[in-house]
Structure 1
Amino acid sequence: MSSILLSIQNSVAIITLNRPDKFNSFNRSMALLLQQTLTDCANNDTIRCIVITGNGKAFSAGQDIAELVGDDALKIETILSEHYNPIIQLIRNIGKPIIAAVNGVAAGAGANIALCCDIVLANEQASFIQAFSKIGLVPDSAGTYFLPRLIGFQKASALMMTGDKVSATEAERMGMVFKVIAAADFEAAVLAQANTLAAMPTLGLAYTKEALNNTMNNNLVSQLAEEDRLQRIAAATSDFNEGITAFLEKRTPLFTGK
């Protein structure tokens, strides 16, 4: 059975991490397959929203430790440069909204892959763990980049050093996730959110994502210039014309993602 499953429903691609017996921990095959699947979704013009979720009880437990030991053990630098860093860069650079649907525990790299997505929806039974300190490692997969920006330096520092588990409810309270959803409603609510995003002006969302990426390093003057640049591009799209026309005609707009 494939370690990555892909289902396309209308304009929504659902990518499922599929090693449930290993709590969807990443081995090399799964990491490379996720990269390829994300790339395929990026290049498919019919897909206008991507969901990443997990099969079974976990979203992802992070790295499969079995790959770190033995005669054929992978080097840490190989795992980062060839597995996780490309995944993070793909998620941030794909010009489509990406939802992390965190169905269960998200630990280590699994947690940080979720947190770099555009919207994080968490099952009420989910939890988040910066597990790296438990084995003497440094948080990776952009955890040290995104988590302090999401919840603040002090809170992020404490969670990374202690490795404490954070419940879905607490994660929502501190701003780590967008919304917590009851377990019985989780799949339907995720799909509803994805369908809403897929029906929106996709290019406008892509430029918003680009602006948010750039604001991490820009000062105020630079970011104002970046907004000006991207707004000019957005204003030249068909969806902008449709949005204006629909507003004036007092009807629901029909966006095409162009």
Structure 2
Amino acid sequence: MPMTDIGIDHEVRDHVAYVTLSRPESLNALTPPLRDRLTELFTAASADPGIRALVLTGTGRGFCAGADLRGTGTVERLPGDVARVLRLGAQRLIAAVLDCEKPVIAAVNGTAAGLGAHLALACDLVLAAESARFIEVFVRRGLVPDAGGAYLLPRLLGPQRAKELMFFGDALPAADAERLGLVNRVVPDDDLQKTAHAWATRLATGPTRALALTKHLVNTSLEADRATAFAAEAWAQEINMTTQDAQEGLRAFTERRAAQFRGR
């Protein structure tokens, strides 16, 4: 199935994969095929040496309005069905972003709600247009936050702030999201894609394996005690020193020149 048929535009330029949700009529809500295709793209990019950074964004007024729930209210469910769908669907997608061995930038161009908000917040760096907003929409539907929300938000905000967003379900404007630390930078709407491209291009010329190990250390540090974190850091540096980029970085330092990293 062509990627445009299920609502994704995907291209690779200069070692950057640009993944664009393209269902503007639904604010880029994720159907199951679209969700699963996104998971496949992140998983493939993680293993592809030709891809050294990713940008995820949306078209139209929305970044992603979450899961497309149309028609789900009439589906007969057996005990265990909902949990299974979450594990194999939304949670698998969020895990693919968190586990991707390349830096992932979210360029949030509009509304990011529910699963869409968590998809953005799972990315390594978050750029937001001034018109963007984040909504923990679950409570409005009488639902428990899913798609990794109760895992991500307390780690990003602390429990009290996370509960405030989840209990009330109010829209959080981009400027407030930046103030709370959910967003790295807010830019004018017209500058969003240009800024995302500049950041991704810079990351794509960096030491790819060192960035992957750094991402892993940061993501796992929140569950680790000091001894475990220090041991992981030491072994990550041990592994990293075997890479060509590490050797190039050290040579460039001694030769007093800019390093030329190749992602190897």
Normalising by the residue count of structure 1, what TM-score does the alignment of the two structures yield?
0.96
| Partners of 2:76 and 2:48 in 1: CA distance | 36
Q: Give the secondary structure class of the aligned counterpart of 1:36.
A: helix
CA contact under 8 A between 1:67 and 1:73: conserved in structure 2?
Answer: no
1:29 paired with 2:33, answer yes
1:138 paired with 2:141, answer no
- Unaligned runs of 5+ residues in structure 2 are none
Structure 1 residue identity aligned to 2:195: A
Question: Superposition pairs for residues 19-98 of structure 1, below 5 Å?
Answer: 19-71=23-75, 75-98=81-104
1:16 paired with 2:23, answer no
Partner of 1:167: 173
Partner of 1:249: 255
Instruction: Point out the more displaced range, 71-80 or 22-31.
Output: 71-80
| Partners of 2:76 and 2:70 in 1: CA distance | 10
| Partners of 2:125 and 2:162 in 1: CA distance | 19
Partner of 1:4: 8
Per-residue CA deviation, residues 45-91 of structure 1 (Å, 9 max, x unaligned), is 11100111111110100011214222478953343122111111111
RMSD of aligned C-alpha atoms? 1.5
Label 1:37 to 1:205 Cα distance change in 2 as closer, same or farther (>3 A). Answer: same
| Partners of 2:41 and 2:230 in 1: CA distance | 35
Q: Give the secondary structure class of the aligned counterpart of 1:65.
A: coil
Q: CA deviation at 1:43?
A: 2.9
| Partners of 2:258 and 2:193 in 1: CA distance | 26
Structure 1 residue identity aligned to 2:125: I
Partner of 2:203: 197
| Partners of 1:73 and 1:168 in 2: CA distance | 37
Instruction: Point out the more displaced range, 118-127 or 77-86.
Output: 77-86
CA contact under 8 A between 1:53 and 1:59: conserved in structure 2?
Answer: yes
| Partners of 2:49 and 2:250 in 1: CA distance | 24
CA contact under 8 A between 1:27 and 1:64: conserved in structure 2?
Answer: yes
Partner of 1:157: 163
Structure 1 residue identity aligned to 2:222: M
| Partners of 2:169 and 2:229 in 1: CA distance | 35
Normalising by the residue count of structure 2, what TM-score does the alignment of the two structures yield?
0.94
Q: Give the secondary structure class of the aligned counterpart of 2:257.
A: coil
Match of 2:220 among 196, 207, 214: 214
Number of aligned residue pairs:
258
Structure 2 residue identity aligned to 1:18: S
CA contact under 8 A between 1:27 and 1:67: conserved in structure 2?
Answer: no
Structure 1 residue identity aligned to 2:257: R
Q: Give the secondary structure class of the aligned counterpart of 2:18.
A: strand
| Partners of 2:98 and 2:173 in 1: CA distance | 25
Q: CA deviation at 1:28?
A: 0.9
| Partners of 1:109 and 1:240 in 2: CA distance | 37
| Partners of 1:94 and 1:113 in 2: CA distance | 13
1:102 paired with 2:102, answer no
Question: Superposition pairs for residues 175-194 of structure 1, below 5 Å?
Answer: 175-194=181-200
Per-residue CA deviation, residues 118-141 of structure 1 (Å, 9 max, x unaligned), is 111111110000000001111111
Structure 2 residue identity aligned to 1:170: D
1:120 paired with 2:140, answer no
Structure 2 residue identity aligned to 1:10: D
